Chain A
Amino acid sequence: MTNAVLTEERMAVVKKKEKVYVTTLRRLLKNKLAVAGLIIILLQIGMAIFAPLIATQDPIKQNLAASELPMFSDGHWLGTDNYGRDVWTRIVYGARISLLVGITAVSLGLIGGVTLGLLGGYYKKLDGVIMRVVDLLFSFPGILLAMLIIAILGTNLVNVAIAISIWSIPTCARIVRGSVLSIKQKEYIMAMKSLGASDFRIMMRHILPNAFAPIIVFATMRMATAILSTASLSYLGLGAQPPTPEWGAMISQGQDYMWTSPHLTIVPGIAIMLTVFAFNVVGDGLRDALDPNMNI
């Protein structure tokens, strides 16, 4: 009997959720900026997937005789860099790298943050320790933390992703913990518990889905930060290994030529700006659409 009630309650929750998604989407699509952002993100994903079709040249193929060509040159509409590599091709392939690093960093950060947040929120005993660790990570300047991690692990994009992911753990953990704390006291969770459902099941099936909205908003905005941070680390010489066409590395390399071939920094700079902007507006839009009072 009780089981049937619970299932019904669950069904209602599911239905309500479906409705929530539809209304969220509808609200999001009303937001002009967010739509613009979505289009940019979709374009970028397209660029990343179909890179070899969009840019027909080799992103690391050098041609020293045709280096530093200006924009709108023959066969290189965005010019070439100091090694004579086609800037457009490198931008297109760079979209792949930005997305990959961003997604990896954010996923790792989410895994870490969600785990800590769930455990901290659910088990009172663990809460103190976990929150102290979170505070510790929090009071560390992010870029410094990343530098230390890269100093230990070595300079490459995987380690950059790890370094950046650690930096999103504390915020994510706090968000999830907050949601857990508010949901934990709800009656149906209490009921599940008294029925002997395992903690793991309760956390995964009932608590986590309720924290979904803030997590998705957080993740979207973190994508923006992650892409920006990768670029900053590349600027400090701690990013992609050459000749990888990473946007941040392209800017910092291009900066040496800023006075003679400004397009070498401006083009990748705009690429980063647009992408980060897109993730930010979509994140903003999602928050407004899901729950304007969300505290992110």
Chain B
Amino acid sequence: MKKTIWYSIVLIAMLVLAACSGESASAPKGSNESNGGGESNETFTYASTSDAVGLSPILMNDAVSANITEHVYEQLFTRNSETQEFDPLLAESYENPDEKTWVIKLKEGIKFHDGSPFNAEAVKYTFDKLRDPATAAPRASLLEPVDTITVVDEHTVEIKTKYPYGPFLAALSHTNAAIVSPTADKKQDLMKDPVGTGPYKFVSWTPGDKVELEANEDYWDGAPALKKIAFKVVPEISTAISMLQTGEVQFIDNLPTEQVKRLESMKNINIEKKDGTSVYYLAFNHSRERNQDADFRKAVSLAVDRDAFVSKLNGLGVRSDSVIGPQVFGFDEGADKAGTAYDVEAAKALVEKNGYGDEPIKLLTANRDNFILMAEIVQAQLTEAGFKVEIESLEWATFLDTARAGEYDMTFLSWSNVTADGSELLYPNFHSDNVGSSNRSQYSNPKFDELVVQSRTTIDQDKRLQILDQANHLMIEENVVLPMYHGIVTTAMDKNYTGLEVDPTGKWSLKNVTKK
């Protein structure tokens, strides 16, 4: 009998051994530090709720990956979060000899992390690859207006566009327009092993767990103070907040509205809030007959008390009637209160007169973030006015497909405007070209389309502002969508650190963060 007991012990030991041998194989190269127990090692850790997809700006297209690539790569231009202007980054200066030509001078003496020089050839290589249909880059559309790219000399490129393109600097400052090292790109997969010119160099990536970067000591703008940074995956935001509280992570962003009070009560962190460029709106499916009735949309707009909703966001939302948000190029103060004001009695009257309450409304919503909150509150408010509303909440993948195919009556959509340009909001979301892809409200209006096209092909920024304002007013007056709120960019960081730079688009940089 003893034998059998021993046998069981051996079996268990084998299982344990299997676990531990698998473990050593998976440990990231050269890292034997632990994150447990809260003891301080110098790694500065940021927690996100999902993992990066890939680390090549040409091929990735998600916010989590962007947070990382923004530290490894750089663009020619960058949007100054204070002045909202576009400042040169890797570029030195630019000029427009004519409306369709951009001559860009590059900074000299910059090197990629692999030692190869940053030059006009690298810019051409990157952009050509980004727009090459064979690459199938998800954001190839950024350079869609580009006709030719020519290397003038080692540090000058000339880009010609097919037509005058207004938001071109915005496009060039986009995360996905960052410049990659051509030598590295030919040699390795940048999705897994990125090489750029940025303040941080890639060290390791344990998929599902974390990406580690180290300071680029040769950075052209001075080496960053934080020597090691990590981007860690913590799927549950409550867990991430607890880890922030106990010092297991130092920094999180996108604070959930539900937990603002908790975060504010934590003494070891600093919370930063900044008005952002994202917009969340109630969308009508314009391919449905009922939604084409302007009175119906009006009745819905009258019935939704947006002030009451925004007050539930615990200060993490800006109330404005404008579709183009206050931080987005194209916003004019006049649009702020131009929308349909809340008036439940008027809504009731309309509902009763036209029998809007007879047929139920299918209110589609994604089951994440603030979408459920919006859906539940709007459902209650619409019910109050006499509508019949059924919520259908779907997980993200199914939601995206259902919304794209237009299989709903009303839904909630959002747009985080990475370039902070109004054209970049109106074109993908509401231009009839994009019905069936990103125009999920299936909106199609020739007059509106024309304004949007104009806003894209005009170079004069003042004129663009006017055109965008016109398009904005058109949407507001016709209740094409009902903007629920405009996002606020939020971060929470360990009090021992300062110097975080946050942009209204939600981007942030650890480049100048120092430990107190």
Q: Among the listed A82, A151, A241, which residue makes an inter-chain contact with B312, where contact means beta carbons less than 8 Å apart?
A: A82
A256: chain B residues within 8 A (beta carbon) = 238, 256, 258-259
A130, CB-defined interface residue at 8 Å: no
B461, CB-defined interface residue at 8 Å: no
B40, CB-defined interface residue at 8 Å: no
Chain A 232-257 near chain B by CB (<8 Å), digits 1 or 0: 00000110011100000000000111
Stretch at the interface among B56-64, B390-398, B444-452: B390-398
A268 to chain B, nearest CB (A): 16
A241: chain B residues within 8 A (beta carbon) = 390-393
Stretch at the interface among B273-281, B374-382, B491-499: B374-382
A115 to chain B, nearest CB (A): 32
B3, CB-defined interface residue at 8 Å: no
B262, CB-defined interface residue at 8 Å: yes
Whether B311 contacts A155 by the Cβ 8 Å rule is no
Per the CB 8 Å criterion, the residue count for chain A at the interface is 21
Whether A155 contacts B367 by the Cβ 8 Å rule is yes
Whether B259 contacts A64 by the Cβ 8 Å rule is no
Q: Assess A242 versus B372: contact at CB under 8 Å? Given A82-B258, A83-B377.
A: yes
B428 to chain A, nearest CB (A): 27
Q: Among the listed A67, A154, A155, A259, which residue makes an inter-chain contact with B259, where contact means beta carbons less than 8 Å apart?
A: A259
* Complex alpha-carbon distance, A237 and B368, angstroms: 8
Q: What residue in chain B is nearest A61 (Cβ atoms)?
A: B380
Q: Assess A64 versus B238: contact at CB under 8 Å? Given A83-B376, A242-B376, A256-B259.
A: no
A107, CB-defined interface residue at 8 Å: no
* Complex alpha-carbon distance, A260 and B238, angstroms: 12
Per the CB 8 Å criterion, the residue count for chain B at the interface is 25
B262: chain A residues within 8 A (beta carbon) = 259-260
B516, CB-defined interface residue at 8 Å: no
B308, CB-defined interface residue at 8 Å: yes
CB contact list, A60-87 vs B, under 8 A:
60-62, 64, 67, 82-83
A291 to chain B, nearest CB (A): 30
A258, CB-defined interface residue at 8 Å: yes
A62: chain B residues within 8 A (beta carbon) = 376-377, 380
A59 to chain B, nearest CB (A): 12
* Complex alpha-carbon distance, A242 and B256, angstroms: 19
Whether B312 contacts A67 by the Cβ 8 Å rule is yes
B258: chain A residues within 8 A (beta carbon) = 82, 256-257
B261, CB-defined interface residue at 8 Å: yes
* Complex alpha-carbon distance, A257 and B390, angstroms: 26
B393: chain A residues within 8 A (beta carbon) = 155, 237, 241-242
Whether B391 contacts A243 by the Cβ 8 Å rule is yes
B308: chain A residues within 8 A (beta carbon) = 64
Whether A255 contacts B238 by the Cβ 8 Å rule is yes
Whether A237 contacts B395 by the Cβ 8 Å rule is yes
Q: Which of B372, B380, B390, B391 has the most CB of A within 10 A?
A: B380
Chain B 384-416 near chain A by CB (<8 Å), digits 1 or 0: 000000111111001000000000000000000
Q: What residue in chain A is nearest B368 (Cβ atoms)?
A: A237
Q: Assess A258 versus B380: contact at CB under 8 Å? Given A242-B375, A242-B393.
A: no
A243: chain B residues within 8 A (beta carbon) = 376, 379-380, 391
* Complex alpha-carbon distance, A256 and B261, angstroms: 11
Whether A83 contacts B372 by the Cβ 8 Å rule is no
A62 to chain B, nearest CB (A): 4
Q: What residue in chain B is nearest A238 (Cβ atoms)?
A: B395
Chain B 242-266 near chain A by CB (<8 Å), digits 1 or 0: 0000000000000010110110010
Task: Beyond A151-B398, A256-B256, list 11 extra A-B contacts (CB 8 Å).
Answer: A67-B312, A82-B258, A82-B312, A83-B376, A83-B377, A241-B390, A241-B392, A243-B380, A256-B259, A257-B258, A260-B261
Using CB atoms and an 8 Å cutoff, list the residues of chain B in contact with chain A: 238, 256, 258-259, 261-262, 265, 308, 311-312, 367-368, 372, 375-377, 379-380, 390-395, 398
Between-chain CB contacts (< 8 Å), 14 pairs? A67-B312, A83-B376, A155-B394, A237-B367, A241-B391, A242-B372, A242-B376, A242-B393, A243-B376, A243-B379, A243-B380, A243-B391, A256-B238, A259-B265
